[in-house]
Chain A
Amino acid sequence: MVKSNSRVVRSEAHADETALIRAAQAGDREAFEQLVRAYDHSILRLAMNMLRSPEDARDVYQETFLRVYRNLGNFRFDCSFHTWIYRIATNICLDLLRKRKVRKEESPVLMTPEGTVDRFESVADPSAELDPQRHLLSGQIRTRVKDALAELSPRERMVFEMRHYEGLRLRNIGEVLGTTEEAAKNCLFRATQKMRVALGDFV
């Protein structure tokens, strides 16, 4: 039988991050840069999967960290820093997705100096090249998945993205989106139903 230690344990990593945040709030530029570097890979990956466009992902990156910079002084540790920063990034992604829905601007092709390329194929997917299982999935299925993802509502897409690709639990997703775990669960349910229907013929 193990007896619980009643002493409050502040872990090293947690304490490190808290110290970094406090230092950045106090004006330490290096601490701020360390915070950016700790989270920017995740934010960029989220934006890439959500928007499937390197140029939009770059915009999300810039806007997210500028807002972090401007509002860091208002962060009061009443949620985790991870939740706070994801909340900022997801709001920006949602805004962009909603604008796309309105403008219907999500063209499948993208004009670049090198010519026209498929928007979905213009982002790196190294795992697809190296995992033999993924080779077995036909191009048709991949196209159908991408189409189905694009058809989800912005909120469904965001919840689905954070659960499936980012591995966040519904409880955290609810926190990030400022809603309940139950609402996030309903959103995920709708998204998975749509994906299942869209892929019904293939699996």
Chain B
Amino acid sequence: MSNESIYNCDGVRDRLALLLYGELSFDEEERVELHVDSCANCRAALARQKAVHAAIDSVEVTASPALLARCREEFFETLHMQESALSHAVGAHASEREPERDAAGESWWSQFLSSFDLKWNAHWNTTWMRPAGALALLAIGFIAARLTPTSFLNGGAGANYSAMDLAHLGPDQIRNVQADASGRVNIVINQNTQRTVSGNLQDAMIRNLLVAAAKQSSDPGLRAETVTILVNGAGLADVRDALVFALENDQNTVVRWRAMEGLKSYTHDPSVQTALAQVLLQDMNPGMRTQAIDLLTPETGPAMNRQVVGVLQQMVSREDDAYVRQRAQKMLEAVRASAGVY
């Protein structure tokens, strides 16, 4: 590496925070790490930056379940009042001028939403823009095809990577993950050089990379993004296992929350029920505990895991948060299990 590509101390210190957030480019990261390895002062500066991050973590706040419940209640009440008022006003208007809408059985809600479209269309007649838009899309497609790096065009994960390469990946060598609207995932890997592998969640290799990032990356942002992508494949057993792992073990609330959201359609799975029970017993965040109870609701009746019932009984006697305790009590009533005896 040439001398001009190595940062001096000022250049390195300016980038330490972005290094910790995983937001430096591959080249920048290489330069910073190269310097830090050989400079004791900058190693100390990196340790101080980590301490700053820890201090900032210490003032994070969470919304209490009671506040969330109150917000929901207020909002749906407001919504109901608005709908009623609208229904009244539109009803009188519609009975005079638009009987066909009533005949079609369209809801007031639907009419309300469509009224915005009608307003927009009335003010902006966009028909003339359609041919121009089509031409613009063609031009964008042509330019994008010329500019897209070949690594994105050369097919699946295996086109650039072998299984042996993957076996030697360290926890932080996966630097970025990104999914497009079609479900295709791009994974940026630092291993001697930076490479991008692409594929979808049906590729076992892509899944393995994502699972490794979700479990091992030290960057909570990357873990959160990876879990968000994995949620799309929660029907696959190995993906579900990774989500369960994140729900039970991740230190970051956002990651655990997204993993739990991804598992909400799989509460029939005993491992998911067990993980939700762990959340109820151990998660520090009362919002997580409340959501865990909400997710277990469909499992009422004989399908509910006995372990979960046991946990709910503990919640009734031990839980500090009144709202969560009340929810646990209601759940137990729903499964017709006494809070004292099951």
Contact = CB atoms under 8 A, between A and B. Distances in A.
Interface of A: 1-5, 8-14, 16, 25-27, 29, 32-33, 36-38, 40-42, 44-45, 47-49, 52, 54, 57-58, 61-62, 65-66, 69-74, 77, 80, 120, 123-128, 130-131, 133-134, 137, 141-142, 144-146, 149, 163-171, 185, 188-189, 192-193, 195-196, 199, 202-203
A54 B155 contact: no
Contacts of A203: 48, 51-52, 55
B342 interface: no
B76 A41 contact: no
B310 interface: no
Given A2-B204, A137-B58, A44 B23 contact: no
A167 B17 contact: no
Contacts of B206: 2
B232 A188 contact: no
Interface in B209-249: 220-225, 231-235
Given A2-B205, A11-B183, A57-B67, 16 more contacts: A29-B107, A33-B76, A61-B71, A73-B116, A73-B117, A120-B59, A130-B284, A131-B284, A133-B54, A137-B58, A145-B59, A163-B21, A188-B17, A189-B14, A195-B52, A202-B55
Given A44-B68, A69-B79, A142 B59 contact: yes
Contacts, number: 227
Main secondary structure of the interface of A (DSSP, over half): helix
A199 B257 contact: no
A4 B198 contact: yes
Contacts of B181: 77, 80
A41 B222 CA distance: 21
11 contacts: A1-B159, A8-B183, A11-B183, A12-B233, A13-B232, A44-B67, A124-B63, A127-B284, A167-B220, A167-B255, A199-B55
Contact of B68 (A29, A41, A149): A41
Contacts of A124: 61-64, 67, 286
Interface in B82-120: 106-107, 109-110, 113-114, 116-117, 120
A163 B221 contact: yes
A2 B75 contact: no
Nearest to A47: B63
Contacts of B76: 33
B221 A4 contact: no
Contacts of A57: 63, 67, 71
B199 A27 contact: no
B261 A38 contact: yes
* Chain A CB within 10 Å, residue with most, of B76, B221, B252: B221
A93 to B, nearest CB: 14
Nearest to A202: B55
